[in-house]
Each structure stands twice: as C-alpha cells, then as structure tokens.
Structure 1
C-alpha cells in the first residue's frame, strides 16, 4: 500500500483578505489530489462517465494548524481512513504539509458511490475497489459496517 502525494502551488485565487489560504481552498486542494490519485491509478473522469456513476460526499471537515500563503507549495498526502468491505462507502484523510514538512491542515471526507442512472448508492466496480485496496491506510483505519437491507 502506498500514500498518494500531490504537490500544489497556492495561487492568488486561493487566498483571502487576511493574505493566507481561504478555508474553502483547502477542500479544493484535497479534491484535486483525490482526482489526480484516481487518474494516476487509471480511473479518471472518462471511466466515471463510461460507468455512469460518481462519488457523493456526506461529510467534510478540516482542522487547521499552520498558515499557508500565496506561492507556497503544499504537499497533499492521501490515505484511506475507513472503507466498507464491499467498497461502497469510504472515508479519506488528507494531510497538507508545508515545504518544511510541518502539518498545515488535515481534511477528511466521508462518502459513497452514486449511480447516476438509477439515482441510488451502489457498490463500485472491482477495478475501482482494487485502487482503494492499494491506498495506504491511516493509523486509526476502521472498517465501515455494511448497511442491512
């Protein structure tokens, strides 16, 4: 299992009037890193379109530790914090590190896979489950119990 890492440069548009990264930009950085992780693993936007499904996010949270400012480079590390055994639900934790290695923020999302045709939650295809199986786990990783019908 491996940690996915994506470096992102803070742009002018990512900053607020306090001259540091605005709160919602942290979520944008993490979304970009997740999309790059899936694309690099062979499951990009085209595969979601072809298969007629996508992620739906139920919960997001961010903890802030150190300021990020314009032109800094941020390393976003992506790990699985929880997964259902059938891959239907997930929690992903992102840690955003400053260039000196200090933790700037921790962002976590919880979600599931949504069938765009049937308009209901679904189990992802085996190739996407395999990509999640290869992602590094957090130290406090947990299995998400399957929902009973």
Structure 2
C-alpha cells in the first residue's frame, strides 16, 4: 500500500492578516488532495454525480506545528487512519509538509458515504472501496465499529 502525495503552492488568497496560511485554507488544501487522489485512481467528480452519492464529513480537526507562508510549496500526504468493515465510514489523515520536509500540520476528517437520492448512509461502490484498500494506513490505524 502506498500513501498518496500531492503538492500545492500557497496563494495570496490562502493567507490571513498575519501573513501566514489562514486556518480554513488547510481544510481546503486537504480536500483538494483527496479529490486528486481519487481522480488519479479513476474516480473523478463525475463518478459521484452519475451515482448520486458523495462524502459527508462529520468532524474535521487540524493540529498546527509550523507556519506556512505565501508561495511556499506544501506536500500533502493522504493516508487512511480508520475504516469500518463495509467501508461506509472512514477517517482520513493528511500530513502537510513544508519544503524542507518538516511537518507543518496534521488534518483529519471523519466521514461516511451518503446516498443523495435515498438520503441515507451507504457503503461505497466496489471501485471506490478498492481505492481505499490500496491507500496506505497510518501507524495507528483502527477498525471503526459499524453504526446502525
């Protein structure tokens, strides 16, 4: 299993009055990295539209270690931190690294897959489940309990 890495450049719009990356930009960076991970494995946005489902995020958290500034390149590593048996619930960890390799932040999301027609949580289609199966696990990976 391999982790997925995606590099972005911090833009003017990503920064706040303190001249470093604003807190909500970290979540945007990580969302972009997740979408690129899925797209690079053949599961692009149109797949979600055609099947009328998508992710729902229950919780996001970010820990900040080193500040990021405008024009810096940031490498985001995406790994699975937790998953339940049918893949319907997940935790994804994003580690954001500065150009010098130091960890700048860690962002995690807890989510599930949501059927837009039936308005209920569902397991992912087999193609998406296999993409998750191929992604590297964190060292502290855990199996989530299934909720009814």
Indicate whether 1:97 and 2:92 are aligned.
no
Matched residues in 2 for 1:69 and 1:140: separation?
A: 30
State the 1:41 CA deviation: 0.6
State the 1:145 CA deviation: 1.1
Post-superposition, which runs of at least 4 consecutive aligned residues in structure 1 deviate over 6 A? none
State the 1:103 CA deviation: 0.3
Matched residues in 1 for 2:140 and 2:36: separation?
A: 24
Indicate whether 1:14 and 2:11 are aligned.
no
Secondary structure, counterpart of 2:13 in structure 1 = helix
State the 1:2 CA deviation: 0.5
CA deviations on 1:18-70 (whole Å, 9 max, x unpaired) are: 00000000000000000000000111101001111000000000000001000
CA deviations on 1:85-129 (whole Å, 9 max, x unpaired) are: 100000000000000000000000000000000011111111100
Mark the runs of 5 or more structure 1 residues left unpaired by the alignment: none
Secondary structure, counterpart of 1:128 in structure 2 = helix
* Paired position in structure 2 for 1:64: 64
Matched residues in 2 for 1:88 and 1:57: separation?
A: 12
Mark the runs of 5 or more structure 2 residues left unpaired by the alignment: none
TM-score (norm 1): 0.98
Secondary structure, counterpart of 2:117 in structure 1 = coil
Matched residues in 2 for 1:84 and 1:44: separation?
A: 23
TM-score (norm 2): 0.99
* Paired position in structure 2 for 1:106: 106
Secondary structure, counterpart of 2:63 in structure 1 = strand
Q: Where in structure 2 are the equivalents of 1:37-56 lying within 5 Å?
A: 37-56=37-56
Matched residues in 1 for 2:69 and 2:49: separation?
A: 35
CA RMSD of aligned residues (A): 0.5
Matched residues in 1 for 2:84 and 2:130: separation?
A: 13
Secondary structure, counterpart of 1:33 in structure 2 = helix
* Paired position in structure 2 for 1:138: 138
